[in-house]
Structure 1
């Protein structure tokens, strides 16, 4: 009677899990080599996975038209090398010059904004509020400007950390083509290889779980990257029309940050707001109008057509997941938050369905009349 109580059994399972976690924490040094290995391979594997989901449909399409898979992969590699070469020669120098110019002028932008806010602060209407709240916005603006300048001046002290990060990125880029080649060549065999480590009775359901996970991740990655590219192109066109400075760099920043849903656009609009505000109030209004139009087009036309509703995740849930993953794992956590949550959702959904089915069979067997 005690063991047949489902709540008591659930508590016993939690107790066993807690004991296992406690024991593993006591001998965590045993797993240190595996942690180092995981940290080393996670970046190239993630990059290769993203590239795989982008390029695999093209390889499948060419294979259906009687072009051998190996030839299609080599052809795509040659095309990608050509695009990267063109970008390095034509686009990267322009973006680099604009970024250096922005970094050089950014402290003066902050000081100018602080002066304008301080002038506004001494207006007759604000004086009454200022006396009530006892807040000195000029001091705040000067403090913010000084801290920004200090951060830029002390950037040389972070050079070693920056060099270490660059080294990891370079190693990831070097190993990326090899991992990507084998993923494109033998990626379809990977689920069958994984289920070999699972009991025979669970292999069919495990293949279904892996298929659903693959569908969720592929839909999200392809859709999000296409949407981000469209946002970058639309913003670049809009910035060119209104004549905003550093239009290419601001559009590229918006495209990259838009990969993170809901949070990314908020980050992307900040430098554009600062530059437009320093330029003129009219430019600020124009920039806000362009950004609003682009967001409306993206929300009403682009995302519904490309992304659809494959993930079925509420926007509030996405925001909480991104914030939590960012606090736990940093930038990598922010980028992998939504697809990771989608994977966990698929696993938990199938696990719950399996437990429900097993409980139903157990109850039916228990209620069968004895012969």
Structure 2
């Protein structure tokens, strides 16, 4: 009977995994809705403690999300669009500067042979595309018209996200209670404990690290724009987003900002020093204020685990895999930690539950 039940569970898990893989193309809006509902549920719970009804709290949080999205679309997106187009226009000049100034300097210092760098073909190919900039919108419209069903599907998925988010946020506590009632009674405590640890890891990363990312993006973008860097907003936001992995944002942002500063300011030392100071201030704020305040001493995911999980999820399952990567990594991390504890207490490791004992010294 036990063997039959075990095989039944394995068959059920295999069938569930197969169905999940087959449904991946339509899972993206549901996963994004679940993520937004997970992030918004603590705010709704806090509003409930302030004597506000669950539905009213959901409407208030949902309106807050919509207001933030509207501000991004109305203010940030046009500014970023202008900077992206400016970067597109400056790229041939950047290539020219790299070919005739930066790379010859590196070539002289490293003693490389003449003609080691070959940028002529790349520069010619990119410059030839600049004349087609005004045709980009027409090209996109023609492709959208040619694949009308794909466009309708994309719009339907986009409109589905707020619907899924609203209903999940409203019924989140009810769904959690129902799921808990389905657990085997003898295993309820163990499963609830593991789920609580997964929630701690994932919540610390998502609610903590994402807020740190946004704060650093604002600090970097504002600082670089105050310095006068032409592409400061774009580089600052990219550096903040790259901060999902600790220290990666500073490395990527500082390198890109210094390269852009060298191109814009030439050999002037003061602007480059100011750019470096912006990232130093950002790192000090992250280490002394943002991370202790927003993340605290809760358990987070290791940076290497974050990089591997995101890349593996994207490689195996596309965009849906990227969305699933961090929750799955959090669960695996908790299970591995418990497996490590069981291994340390097992006879294979050689320790008893009361701790290891010193071997008797030879007489």
When normalised by structure 1's length, the TM-score is: 0.71
Residue 79 to residue 172, structure 1, CA distance change in 2 (3 Å): same
Q: Please name the residue that 2:120 is paired with.
A: 142
Choose from 165, 173, 187 the match for 2:172: 187
Choose from 52, 56, 64 the match for 2:49: 64
Residue 181 to residue 211, structure 1, CA distance change in 2 (3 Å): same
Q: Offset at 1:166? A: 7.5
In structure 1, C-alpha distance between the alignment counterparts of 2:173 and 2:314, rounded to whole Å: 32
Gaps of 5+ in 2: 1-5, 349-363
8 A Cα contact 2:212 2:286, kept in partner: yes
Choose from 80, 86, 96 the match for 1:101: 86
2:276 aligned with 1:298: no
In structure 2, C-alpha distance between the alignment counterparts of 1:59 and 1:249, rounded to whole Å: 33
Matched residue count = 329
Choose from 316, 327, 332 the match for 1:344: 332
Q: Offset at 1:188? A: 1.8
Q: Please name the residue that 1:112 is paired with.
A: 97
In structure 1, C-alpha distance between the alignment counterparts of 2:326 and 2:71, rounded to whole Å: 32
Residue 355 to residue 188, structure 1, CA distance change in 2 (3 Å): farther
In structure 2, C-alpha distance between the alignment counterparts of 1:257 and 1:169, rounded to whole Å: 27
8 A Cα contact 1:220 1:339, kept in partner: no
Q: Offset at 1:258? A: 2.4
2:54 aligned with 1:76: no
2:242 aligned with 1:257: yes
- Secondary structure of 2:192's counterpart equals helix
8 A Cα contact 1:216 1:342, kept in partner: yes
Gaps of 5+ in 1: 1-15, 361-371
What does residue range 151-190 of structure 1 map to in structure 2 within 5 Å?
170-190=155-175
Residue 320 to residue 33, structure 1, CA distance change in 2 (3 Å): closer
In structure 2, C-alpha distance between the alignment counterparts of 1:285 and 1:101, rounded to whole Å: 24
RMSD of aligned residue pairs (Cα, Å)? 4.1
In structure 1, C-alpha distance between the alignment counterparts of 2:74 and 2:187, rounded to whole Å: 53
Q: Please name the residue that 1:217 is paired with.
A: 202
CA deviations on 1:331-356 (whole Å, 9 max, x unpaired) are 66566545432221113444666799
8 A Cα contact 2:245 2:303, kept in partner: no
When normalised by structure 2's length, the TM-score is: 0.73
2:16 aligned with 1:38: no
Structure with greater helix percent: 1
8 A Cα contact 2:222 2:233, kept in partner: no
Residue 270 to residue 336, structure 1, CA distance change in 2 (3 Å): farther
Q: Offset at 1:70? A: 0.3
Q: Offset at 1:91? A: 3.1
In structure 1, C-alpha distance between the alignment counterparts of 2:175 and 2:346, rounded to whole Å: 28
In structure 1, C-alpha distance between the alignment counterparts of 2:19 and 2:323, rounded to whole Å: 25
What does residue range 301-320 of structure 1 map to in structure 2 within 5 Å?
301-311=289-299, 313-320=301-308
Q: Please name the residue that 2:359 is paired with.
A: none
Residue 342 to residue 100, structure 1, CA distance change in 2 (3 Å): same
Q: Which moved more, 1:323-332 or 1:180-189?
A: 323-332
- Secondary structure of 1:138's counterpart equals coil
